[in-house]
Amino acid sequence: MAIRKYPHQPIGVRRIRRRRRSPPSSFSSFTNMPVSCMASLMLFIASIELATSAFMLAASSNISNTKSIMRMTSPSIRKISFDRIRASSPLKQRGSVATSLKYPSAFYSIRSNRHSKKISTDHCRSFFSTSLSMTSSISHNWEQITNHQTSKTVKLFKTIHRANKAKRSDLGLTVAEGVRLVSDILANEESRKLVRRVVISESLLYDGDNADQYQNQLQHWLHVVDEESRQRKAEYSGDGASSSTVPTCSINVGTEKVVDACSGTVTSQGVVALMSIPLPYTPLDNLAVLVDDDKKVDDEMPPFYLILDGLSDPGNVGTLLRTCAASHVTALILLPGSCDVWNPKAVRSAMGASFTVPVLEIGKGGEKEALNQVLDLLERCGVDNDRVFAATMEDAGDKASLAHYGIDFTSKVGGAAVILGREGEGLRGGVRSAIKESRISTVHVPMAPGIESLNAAVCGSVIMFERMRQLLTMTEKD
């Protein structure tokens, strides 16, 4: 008796064997491949090419941190960190592919299966068909900060924000933040030399598609200052100087939490800069330079000094600094008790003028002693005491308060100076005593009846721009 090969089949039923199809060609296999598998394959090929290029670049330039090089991609895929790609195998999921891409600030998953919508061909082409490029917005010299709790750079920024005036002066550092502010500082040749460190967020650095003109300018000047720092370091190293003493700028790329920790505002704009405080203004040295160069003082613009008598609001101080830069003020002089111009809030309000307008601070002595020191200094610079005007609404002594448009700021006899009092209280006792003794003059801004006073920054700005108007009028007549 014969043993049936397939006992479960009835007798007489012949099993039909299906013929095994021949393997298709490579072209037909690629065209008939599901879109999800095609996307996974293209992603895998792109990651291999990227890793190979990064390895070759690291070997040629002796760079140990290949993660920064792996971010050097074209705008379409430069946000992707391929070292964090988590792609499940298509063979294990039976038609379902889960591809995960790690972006700098968020985690996105693209899941596709037979029940979901197919990925369009244009999307796959625009996402995966880009080639590697060295024209990205990040340099291989820029270090990354990932932990905002243990980073020494973040701790230094926090220390400066919490520091008082004396501590900040001892450190010789201040903080500037904001896309436009940092961009303007880097664009100025003199203030760019004061930048010591810049921390920029990944989202701001890699946001090429939505970047405005200020973000593009910021990225341009970051590369400029990076190149200048490397050249300066090479020059100093050639002279035998230590690399730690070279005045260079370091650029760090951090997460949003890192930049927020370095910022002093509630909502950070994505970039903060560590700045060196400029040296104090020395008017006598500048006057000596003019004499040594055989320049006539009469041919120069008449000097004008703005003196702050205890002004305490950082916003007002920053606004006045910005106005000083716009109206060609010679220098800003601070009497004791005035706000620190290097307060990060004042720096932010000044929009870069803190590093272009000369600042002289009289930090020692009482109110009268400090005022006498300033008056003596101004007299040595060619500004007589009767050309020093205190902004007030009161008439004192034998002289009545002059309207701001009644003062000739273009006089060749000498320059001028204006003293502004603090918010609310006005001028302090030392300046008021000098007014009563007729040692200095007074000035006021006429206003409509019923208005008691103007904001200190507004009052000072009106007077400074009246001087600017007179200078422009004089230039047009000449």
> Taking 90 as the threshold, does the pLDDT of residue 342 lie above it?
yes
Cβ atoms of 409 and 302 within 8 Å: the answer is yes
Neighbours of 141 (CB within 10 A): 14
β partners of residue 271: 200
Average pLDDT over residues 127-141: 43
Across the range 285-302, mean pLDDT stands at: 52
**Tell me, what's the pLDDT at 138?**
56
- Given pLDDT bands bounded at 50, 70 and 90, which one contains residue 85? very low
Bridge partners (DSSP) of residue 199 are 252, 272
Q: Does residue 429 contact residue 371 with C-beta atoms inside 8 Å?
A: no
Q: Quote the percentage of the chain above a pLDDT of 90.
A: 42
Q: What is the pLDDT at residue 55?
A: 57
Compute and round to an integer the Cα radius of gyration of the chain.
34
Element (H, E) at 304: strand 304-309
Count how many residues are written for the chain: 478
CA–CA distance, 350 with 317 (Å, rounded to integer): 8
| Residue 477: pLDDT band with limits 50, 70, 90 | confident
Query: Residue 289: which pLDDT band, with cuts at 50, 70 and 90?
Result: very low
DSSP 382: T
Measured at the CA of 319, the angle between CA 444 and CA 472, to 5 degrees, comes to: 65
Euclidean distance between CA atoms 197 and 429, whole angstroms: 42
Q: Has this prediction a pTM greater than 0.85?
A: no
Kindly state the helix (H) or strand (E) to which residue 444 belongs, with its residue range.
strand 441-444
Q: What DSSP string describes 82-113?
A: GGG-EE--HHHHTS-EEEEEE-SS-EEEEEE-
Average pLDDT over residues 377-393: 90
Which are the contacts of 385, defined by CB distance < 8 A and separation ≥ 6? 375, 378, 379, 439, 440
pLDDT, tens only, 420-450: 998 888 899 999 999 999 999 999 999 888 8
Higher pLDDT, 385 or 36: 385
Looking at the predicted structure, is the pLDDT value of residue 112 above 70? no
Average pLDDT score over residue span 118-130: 39
Of 324-333, 341-350, 394-403, the poorest mean pLDDT is in 394-403
Determine the pLDDT at residue 422.
87
Q: Report the mean per-residue pLDDT for the chain.
A: 75
Closest among 86, 85, 72, 84 to 131, alpha carbons compared: 72
Please give the share of the chain, as a percent, with pLDDT higher than 70.
65
- Residues 252-278 have pLDDT tens digits of 999 999 999 999 998 899 999 999 999
